[in-house]
Amino acid sequence: MKTPQISIVAPLYNESESFPLLVQRINALMESSPLTIEVVLVDDGSKDDTALRIRQLALTDERYHGVFLSRNHGHQLALTAGISAARGSEALFVIDGDLQDPPELLPEFYKLLKDGNDVVYAVRKKRKEGVIKRTGYHLFYRILRSISYVEIPLDSGDFALISRRVVDVLNKMPEESRYLRGMRSWIGFKQVGFEYERDARVAGESKYSFKQLFSLAYNGIFNFSEFPIKFMSRIGVVAILISLIYFIIVVVKKMFFAQVIEGFTSLLFVIILFSGVQLLALGIIGEYVLRIFFQSKNRPLFIIKEEIVNREYI
């Protein structure tokens, strides 16, 4: 067998319902494409029979490469595991297993890659999620864009075609709290967006809870922005100015109007103001300390329990 030119990487977690259609559409893509393609399916500690389905497929079809993690590590780390295992000599095509990212777009992405781009990322011009999620995504991307020191494309997720040299750099980046779309932007090289209409899930429910979405958003903000820590400095300056203004008002009332503001109310105001500022500051500093703490442990980002790959396919 030839060395695969393209690796399709798809992390899967409890995707038993969508799995048959995923394989059907990827098979149709590979049969119609002149490219040599391998498919890396990563089981992220699924509790249904997703792992069994991947195993059966990888053992019977040499184009499929099964990677099985020791437990549920989360989408970003599962995707990292798939990227590290992929062998595509030209590029990696990152998709989601729920088929919201249509694999049929590979030929269009590949054309842009051959035009000299190292990253072809998908831009979602229309989403099928609920109003709350759509609004949240819209606001988050724009807030992150305004405060980040890296230009992260708006409305762009992990769905992308990435050249081998960008993949090699990604594999050398060891950060524990990963935000892959930000890391991809930080690397640089020539990148271009491709607009598409994101489909709804073909089956099942989203595996990203609101808690996980907030965690991903935190990684984006704290890993690619200096704003949180600088924000605390600005809050401190504002708090000092408010206190000085309040102090001046008290002095003026005492000297010129013979009035002194009652102590209990003013004291309560000052205590609440500064206590809130201090707690906010400690919380933001704690986020950075926590990230340093986890990174300093130097644990592996993920643990691969088993890997099924046809070694002749290299």
pLDDT band, residue 301 (cuts 50/70/90): confident
**Cα–Cα distance measured from residue 314 to residue 308, given in angstroms and rounded to the nearest whole number:** 14
Q: What is the pLDDT of residues 153-177, one digit of tens each?
A: 777 788 899 999 999 998 888 888 7
In a domain, 260, yes or no: yes
Mean pLDDT of the chain: 80
Same domain, 30 and 166: yes
The model's confidence at residue 205, banded by pLDDT at 50, 70 and 90, is: low
Residues 156 and 240 both lie in one domain: no
Query: pTM of this prediction?
Result: 0.74
Residue with the bigger pLDDT between 183 and 243: it is 183
Indicate the pLDDT class of residue 312, thresholds 50, 70 and 90: very low
Q: Which of 51-55, 126-130, 189-193, 310-314 has the lowest mean pLDDT?
A: 310-314
Of the candidates 199, 189, 212, the residue with the CA atom closest to the CA atom of residue 75: 212
Give dist(CA 199, CA 162) in Å, integer: 22
Q: How many residues does the chain have?
A: 314
Based on the domain organization, do 95 and 152 belong to the same domain? yes
Same domain, 194 and 250: no
Of 156-160, 223-227, 302-306, least confident by mean pLDDT is 223-227
The answer to whether residues 78 and 184 belong to one domain is yes
3-class state of residue 241 by DSSP:
helix
The domain containing residue 245 runs over which residues? 227-296
* 157 is a domain residue: yes
Specify if 192 maps to a domain.
yes
The pLDDT assigned to 8 comes to 93
Handedness of CA 152, 97, 111, 90 (dihedral sign): positive
Q: What is the CATH number of the domain that holds 21?
A: 3.90.550.10
Do 217 and 234 sit in the same domain of this protein? no
pLDDT band at 290 (very low <50, low <70, confident <90, very high): confident
Paired strand residues for 37: 6
Q: How many domains does the chain have?
A: 2
Residue 95 inside a domain? The answer is yes
Handedness of CA 170, 171, 173, 174 (dihedral sign): positive
Is pLDDT of 241 > 70? yes
**Co-location of 31 and 10 in the same domain:** yes
The pLDDT tens digits for 108-146 are 999 999 998 999 988 887 766 666 766 776 677 677 777
Q: Are residues 124 and 210 in the same domain?
A: yes
Which tokens in the block code for residue 210? 């609101």
User: Does a structural domain hold residue 313?
Assistant: no
Residues 262 and 162 in one domain: no
The answer to whether residues 145 and 241 belong to one domain is no
